[in-house]
């Protein structure tokens, strides 16, 4: 009897938590869902935007010094380098088409080179997943790319960051880089059992162009 008097309140608490958690579990990013791309007032090479699924992005052109400091200059014709603001094509921009993947030929580049960075975050300060894509291009072809993801949770016992995955395709030697990210954010976590009762699994698939474009493919 003593054992059941302990288990029953725990079960009741978990059921109550599960019933209220979804409304607070997958909060929209602080910038607001579906916020249009806006150039920074202090740096025109920085574009902040929020996609239709709640990921808050900061996409920007890297400066010449950043490219050198990160060792990316080895993959770029620095004589043609210039910081070109990124172009964002979201799901709602239905009139625009994503460039089709094409393998590199012997054709010339379009006369400039640059590097960009896209960082996107799902969730908020309590439970979040973040991804980052860095890429360089000569206007025609991707010359460098790297991608990663991570996340975490604040000191909320019923939230748990469970991991992420990154799936790149194309990239160096192609005209585009495709990256798919997926996260597993647990918003009803039972620390007594060590199990997750409700998951939020946001994902996206973006296509990054050799001219600094970012185009939505799927999510």
93-132 pLDDT, tens digit each: 755 678 899 998 876 656 678 999 999 999 988 999 999 9
Phi and psi at 65, nearest 5°, equal -70, -40
Locate the domains of the chain by residue range.
2-218
Measured from the Cβ of residue 212, the count of other Cβ atoms closer than 10 Å reads 26
pLDDT at position 80 is 85
Q: 41: helix, coil or strand?
A: coil
Per-residue pLDDT reduced to its tens digit, 147-196: 999 999 998 889 999 999 999 999 999 999 999 999 999 999 998 888 99
Neighbour tally for 65: CB within 10 Å: 8
Nearest-angstrom CA–CA distance, 134 and 55: 17
Q: What is the pLDDT of residue 107?
A: 63
pLDDT score of 2: 41
Least Cα distance to 210 among 104, 66, 59, 119 occurs for: 104
Task: Name all contacts of 189-194 with Cβ < 8 Å and 24+ positions apart.
Answer: 189/157, 189/158, 189/159, 189/160, 190/14, 190/158, 191/157, 191/158, 192/10
């Amino acid at each position: 009897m003593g054992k059941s008097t302990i288990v029953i309140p725990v079960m009741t608490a978990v059921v109550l938590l599960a019933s209220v958690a979804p409304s607070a579990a997958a909060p929209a990013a602080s910038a607001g869902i579906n916020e249009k791309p806006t150039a920074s007032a202090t740096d025109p090479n920085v574009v902040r935007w929020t996609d239709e699924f709640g990921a808050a992005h900061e996409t920007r052109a890297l400066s010449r010094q950043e490219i050198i400091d990160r060792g990316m200059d080895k993959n770029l014709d620095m004589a043609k380098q210039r910081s070109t603001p990124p172009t964002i094509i979201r799901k709602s921009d239905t009139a625009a088409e994503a460039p089709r993947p094409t393998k590199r030929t012997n054709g010339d580049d379009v006369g400039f080179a640059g590097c960009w960075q896209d960082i996107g975050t799902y969730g908020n300060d309590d439970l979040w997943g973040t991804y980052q894509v860095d890429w360089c291009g000569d206007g025609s072809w991707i010359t460098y790319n790297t991608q990663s993801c991570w996340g975490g949770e604040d000191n909320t016992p019923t939230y748990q960051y469970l991991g992420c995955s990154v799936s790149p395709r194309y990239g160096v030697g192609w005209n585009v880089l495709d990256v798919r990210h997926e996260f597993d954010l647990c918003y009803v976590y039972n620390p007594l059992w060590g199990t997750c009762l409700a998951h939020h699994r946001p994902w996206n698939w973006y296509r990054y162009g050799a001219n600094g474009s970012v185009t939505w493919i799927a999510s």
